Amino acid sequence: MTTQLEYIDLQVNGYAGVDFNQDDVTEEDFRRADQLRAAIDAGLSAFTHLGNGCPTMLHRHDNIIQRVLSLRDRLTSCFIADGVHVPFPALGNYLRLVGFERSVAVTDAISAAGCGPGRYAVGSQTVRIGEDLVARSADRLHFVGSTVTMPRMAALLREKVGLSDDEIRRVLSDNPRRLLQRQTGCFSRADVAENCSNTPVGSRAATANFKSSRTP
């Protein structure tokens, strides 16, 4: 944990903020709530992919999800809101518990998003998109990002979770922009409009370039 805190301190002193991806955090990293508090005190400002990327089998009470939720008033919580990574009933519970002022929804979209069922080369990986439009590894053992687009995710949040237009705007636009402003000192509304006009804010494609081509 000392290494984690040193990393956070380095990032905060060198930049403006840091977040943890739940994919990169193990139970050993944050096995007690006081360790998570120490990370927040050191500058941790957000926790991404909450509810996903953790072991399938968790202690029913003492687990990383519950610890993050217990400190929700000190963190921005980020969710992949496609209904696949976190089922909609659980997603709705998380969003309402965290609150719409501290929640961010992202697509986690890969470059093959919107291409329909098939096999695609995404970087060095072969990705299978099934009839259910879920992106899985070639061996179909795990998800590989998401295929949902930002407009589709907004519709799903409205239809499946019951969010209002104002709540959707907060989690998809206002809160991500505010978080980026806090962590980087840039990304005004005009910046987002200019730089992300063709790529939804919050999508994986917005921060990395993937070469995608359909394979036989």
Q: What is the reported pLDDT for 206?
A: 34
Q: What is the reported pLDDT for 156?
A: 96
> Is 118 a domain residue?
no
> Is 124 a domain residue?
no
**How far is 119 from 97, CA to CA, in rounded Å?**
38
> Is 59 a domain residue?
yes
Q: What is the reported pLDDT for 214?
A: 53
> Is 122 a domain residue?
no
**How far is 212 from 59, CA to CA, in rounded Å?**
39
Structural domain including 100 reads 2-107+148-205
Tell me how far CA of residue 66 lies from CA of 40, 59, 80, in angstroms: 16, 10, 17
Is residue 86 classed exposed, middle or buried when 0-12, 13-18 and 19+ CB atoms within 10 A define those classes? buried
Is residue 178 classed exposed, middle or buried when 0-12, 13-18 and 19+ CB atoms within 10 A define those classes? middle
Q: What is the reported pLDDT for 53?
A: 74
CATH number where 189 lies = 3.20.20.140
Task: For residue 126, give the amino acid letter.
Answer: T
* Cα 78–chain centre separation: 5
Residue pair 205/199 in contact by the 8 Å Cβ criterion: yes
> Is 119 a domain residue?
no
> Is 152 a domain residue?
yes
> Is 167 a domain residue?
yes
> Is 8 a domain residue?
yes
Cβ neighbors of 63 (< 8 A, separation 6 or more) are: 27, 54
**How far is 56 from 96, CA to CA, in rounded Å?**
23
**Residues in the chain, pLDDT under 50:** 1, 10-18, 187, 192-213
Domain count, the chain: 1
**How far is 93 from 136, CA to CA, in rounded Å?**
26
Q: What is the reported pLDDT for 40?
A: 87
